[in-house]
């Protein structure tokens, strides 16, 4: 399993993205971060801390569960029930510049589900997208506004993002399907 991003590089990448967000949005007015559970929410919290250091102000941050918005839930007639987690967006998204955050952008289906879920909470002024890793292979016309690392992969590989808060360490690795048991 080749490590393509270690903890130090991940930290530098998130700092760079925070500066890009600050510059593009001319400060933090009306800016809010919403991370897609689970690792996107962790990344959003880390970005909020970096944006606080840059802007000198708190950036509202929330977590979005997209389980019930996924288009693959009913594809299998029998199977394990999906784990529905809690969406926590403790602020109005109306007229805000929402920055949606996820760990890996692959087919675009997760982001499509997240957009559907987010719109159920209100009408933001705009929605921007941050991903730590963009691995290509889009099935939907979705493109990230901010990318930590473009990582060309084959469809037989998966990209695993590990975060200290959920996995005990920070790293991004590529696995072959025979090792990983699936793709992200």
Per-residue pLDDT tens for 40-49? 999 999 999 9
Q: Binning pLDDT at 50, 70 and 90, where does residue 162 land?
A: very high
65 domain-assigned: yes
16 domain-assigned: yes
180 domain-assigned: no
Of 2, 67, 54, 40, which is closest to residue 144 (Cα–Cα)?
A: 40
Of 114, 179, 174, which is closest to residue 144 (Cα–Cα)?
A: 114
| Number of independent structural domains in the chain | 1
Task: Identify whether 38 is preceded by a cis peptide bond (ω within 30 of 0).
Answer: yes
**Six-digit token string for 17:** 């993205």
Domain containing residue 124: CATH number = 3.40.50.2020
The sign of the CA dihedral 13, 105, 88, 28 is: positive
112 domain-assigned: yes
Neighbour-count burial of 22, counting CB atoms closer than 10 A to its CB (0-12 exposed, 13-18 middle, 19+ buried): middle
Taking 80 as the threshold, does the pLDDT of residue 79 lie above it? no
128 domain-assigned: yes
Least confident of 9-13, 64-68, 159-163, 180-184: 180-184
Taking 60 as the threshold, does the pLDDT of residue 28 lie above it? yes
Mean pLDDT along residues 57-84: 77
19 domain-assigned: yes
Residue pair 104/161 in contact by the 8 Å Cβ criterion: yes
Backbone angles phi, psi at 181, to 5 degrees: 80, 15
Measured from the Cβ of residue 176, the count of other Cβ atoms closer than 10 Å reads 11
**Six-digit token string for 40:** 């996107």
161 domain-assigned: no
As a three-state string, the secondary structure of the chain is CCEEEEHHHHHHHHHHHHHHHHHHCCCCCCEEEEEECCHHHHHHHHHHHHHHHHHCCCCCEEEECCHHHCCCCCCCCCCCCCCCCCCECCCCCCCCEEEEEEEEECCCHHHHHHHHHHHCCCCCCEEEEEEEEECCCCCCCCCCCEEEEECCCCCCEEEEEECHHHHCCCEEEEEEHHHHCCCC
165 domain-assigned: no
Residue range of the domain that includes 35: 7-70+84-153
């Amino acid at each position: 399993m080749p490590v393509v991003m270690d903890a130090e590089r991940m930290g530098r990448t998130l700092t760079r993205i925070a500066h890009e967000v600050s510059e593009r949005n001319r400060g933090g007015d009306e800016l809010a971060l919403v991370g897609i559970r689970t690792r996107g929410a962790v990344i959003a919290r880390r970005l909020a801390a970096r944006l606080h250091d840059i802007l000198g102000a708190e950036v509202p941050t929330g977590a979005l569960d997209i389980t019930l918005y996924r288009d693959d839930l009913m594809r299998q007639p029998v199977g394990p029930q999906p784990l529905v987690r809690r969406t926590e967006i403790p602020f109005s998204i109306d007229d805000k510049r929402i920055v949606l955050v996820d760990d890996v952008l692959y087919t675009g289906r997760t982001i499509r589900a997240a957009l559907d879920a987010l719109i159920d909470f209100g009408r933001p002024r705009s929605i921007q997208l941050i991903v730590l890793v963009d691995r290509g292979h889009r099935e939907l016309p979705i493109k990230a506004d901010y990318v930590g690392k473009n990582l060309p992969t084959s469809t037989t590989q998966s990209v695993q993002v590990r975060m200290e808060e959920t996995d005990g360490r920070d790293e991004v690795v590529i696995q072959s399907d025979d090792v990983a048991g699936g793709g992200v």
